[in-house]
Amino acid sequence: MSAGKGKFITFEGIDGAGKSTHIATVVEFLRARGRAVISTREPGGTPLGEKLRELLLHEAIYPETEALLMFAARREHLARVIEPALARGAWVVCDRFSDATYAYQGGGRGMDRARLSSLERWTHGHLQPDLTFLFDLPPNVAGGRIARQGRALDKFEREDAGFHRRVREAYLERAASAPDRICVVDAGRSLEEIGKMIEEIVVARCS
């Protein structure tokens, strides 16, 4: 990979699809090639964002408030972490970003997409990820993976099958509307196959 400016790469998909696993791999891959990389997440990534995450993942919140809090946490994250990192030439690898709001608050909760789009423009009209990996998997398969982890579920993971199906569909709609940015990954393939594909795409698209 040639030296150059930092890139903003996001990972998306329903819970249990494999994002966290592959973020760790791609961060290691980039660092081994001499890149300065920060690995961060949403909601979260700043002290305020992590406090909001705690509320968002565990409290019952009215859907519109939930969407506004996601964007509030995002604005803080952009201003304090993402934009400064990109400005100094670092790469930013982020576990979820605005596509998740379209999927969960738009698809899952049924919020109007035009409202989300105006909040998105307000929050980061000037900036989009350079590349997004969407991990696509049937919700029952992802649910099985989470169940095998044997951990406590958060508020979103406890939602019913219909919610997770709508989230998946909304993600696929997003991918169809931004095919140059969003790369759909068949998350049912092996860890090795997925890892190799991601590395090839990162090298091809971000060099």
Interface contacts to ligand ADP, rule CB under 6 A: 13, 15-21, 135, 145, 149, 190-191, 194
Q: Quote the least distance from Cβ 103 to ligand ADP, whole Å.
A: 13
Binding at 42: pick from ligand TYD, ligand ADP, none (beta carbon under 5-8 Å per type): ligand TYD
81 near ligand TYD, rule: CB under 6 A: no
Vertex 138: Cα angle to 55 and 135 (nearest 5): 70
Binding at 18: pick from ligand TYD, ligand ADP, none (beta carbon under 5-8 Å per type): ligand ADP
Binding at 83: pick from ligand ADP, ligand TYD, none (beta carbon under 5-8 Å per type): none
Stretch of 39-47, 84-92, 111-119, 172-180 lying at the interface with ligand TYD (CB under 6 A): 39-47
Residue nearest to ligand ADP (CB): 18
96 near ligand TYD, rule: CB under 6 A: yes
Positions in 120-159 near ligand TYD (CB under 6 A):
156
Positions in 47-66 near ligand TYD (CB under 6 A):
57
Stretch of 30-38, 95-103, 177-185, 186-194 lying at the interface with ligand TYD (CB under 6 A): 95-103
Task: Please name the residues in contact with 35: beta carbons below 8 A apart, sequence gap of 6 or more.
Answer: 1, 6, 90, 91
Give the residue carrying structure tokens 């307000």.
122
DSSP 13: E
101 near ligand TYD, rule: CB under 6 A: yes
Contacts 24+ apart (CB under 8 A), 30-34: 30/91, 30/93, 30/202, 33/1, 34/3
Binding at 96: pick from ligand TYD, ligand ADP, none (beta carbon under 5-8 Å per type): ligand TYD
Binding at 100: pick from ligand TYD, ligand ADP, none (beta carbon under 5-8 Å per type): ligand TYD
Cα distances (angstroms) measured from residue 127 to each of 23, 37, 64, 67, 82: 21, 18, 23, 19, 10
Q: What is the CA radius of gyration of the chain?
A: 16
Structure-block tokens of residue 200: 């090839």
13 phi, psi to nearest 5 deg: 145, 165
Q: Note the residues at the interface with ligand TYD (CB under 6 A).
A: 15, 20, 41-43, 57, 70, 95-96, 100-101, 104-105, 156
